[in-house]
Amino acid sequence: MIDLRPYISTTNGKAFAVLGLGRSGLTAACALAQSGADVWAWDDNADGRAKAAEAGLKVVDLGNCDWTAVQSLVMSPGIPLTHPVPHPVALAAQATGVEVICEVELLYRACPDATFVGITGTNGKSTTTSLIAHILAQAGRPVAVGGNLGTPALELPMLESDGVYVLEMSSYQLDLLSQLRFDIALLLNFSPDHLDRHGDMAGYIKAKLHIFDRQEKDDAAIIGMDDPDSRQVFDQINSLGNCKAIPISGNTRLAEGVFAAQGQLIDDRFASEEQILDLQSVERLPGDHNHQNAAAAFACCRRLNLTNDAIVAGMKSFPGLAHRQQLVAQQGNIRYINDSKATNADAAARAISSYENIYWIAGGRAKDGGISSLKPLFSRIRKAYLIGECAEDFARQIGKDLPYTQCQTLDRAIAQAAKDAQHDNCDNAVVLLSPACASWDQYRSFEVRGDHFRECVQKLTQSNNLEQPSTASGREAS
């Protein structure tokens, strides 16, 4: 746990209020308390308050407290700061002039000499974050990875001036920073997401742009160029000239940037194209979207003074991430890919674009827009297997454009898809779970859904049991 005593010693002795006592909030409260701060812990849920009391924390109703005695409000990013309705505690803190921050801000204040790399965007954050951290670790650099990915910021190890914090940053977290300056800030892409928390697309983009706040001349802004909103952001940051802006792309040649073209990773930062790596040989980074992730990681690691050879070695040894186009099994010419993290159509499009002869498992709790945007990719799909509460709606959206079966449950969908793929005997067939939906109708998280996919596939391939499964009633398109 991060030692906050050096930072606490610089404050005026006032209390730190902590609102939201999930894992990151409880960690923040405990780290502050262990470092000698007066901590007022609160959660709107009684279970959260009980956990705080069990941890020996002082439980204080932040809806009825003296804000003049508070130094900072450390708020869980999951609690609304602005939209749809600001939490009353946040409003009370701000009305008294108390800063509202998240635990990542405390990490920065405790370890100001370390290098901070921040990664944000709608899709690809976790892969890019993990890839950068893996490359650095393989090269022998002291590195810690966390933030919105896995480990809460204050559970990371203390790093000195030679260390690098690689932090995935959500739009919610970026709204809760006040001093943190990223030495390298990466913005990958935009597509509509979390609009209920930001009001509209403009509010969402505004929140993401906080990743570039306070950057200086020697810092770098690495920005994707594969969607219109990101290109506008690049032009904006580049024209300001506060830092070095580096464009990256997964499919388009760029002047003075890093990009992939025909699957080749190319460095043109100094207006002289240098071929770095054949990305088609890197099995864990398939598709244009992963090629953009690779371009972002390369640009970042070069800014951190790693050699080309070290970066290439790290990319080739990257194990990939669970639930993100994860190869979980192969039986003959059939690969089984777990892309449960694809909880919207844009994310599913990235996976579908990476393969041919797809037996596509989709469905769950649908996001706005459904899957109509995926129709241009239907030629890659041999058949769809629809699950979850949106199965009938997805069937209507597909219409006669694609053969489909309503399977309702994941195990039935896997068994049917495997049987069909074996029967068709196509080259490079892929049974792909890329749901384009949230998991909450049948699973508590996309991770649980992905784990169930892996378990079902393992049982199926080990037993080689590809008999016809029973499926729920539903019309089929031919």
Verify cis geometry, omega within 30 degrees of 0, for the bond prior to 157. Answer: no
Contact between residue 105 and residue 172 where contact means Cβ atoms under 8 Å apart: no
Q: Is 121 annotated as a binding residue?
A: yes
* Dihedral over Cα of 443, 18, 145, 168: its sign: positive
- What is the distance in angstroms between the CA of the first residue and the CA of the last residue of the chain? 58
Q: Is 120 annotated as a binding residue?
A: no
One-letter amino acid for residue 262 of the chain: Q
In the structure encoding, which two tokens stand for residue 154, read together?
């204050």
**125 belongs to an annotated ligand binding site:** yes
317 belongs to an annotated ligand binding site: no
Check the annotation: does 127 bind a ligand: yes
Residue 301's Cβ-side half-sphere holds a number of Cα atoms within 13 Å equal to: 32
* Binding site feature residues: 121-127
Binding residues for ATP: 121-127
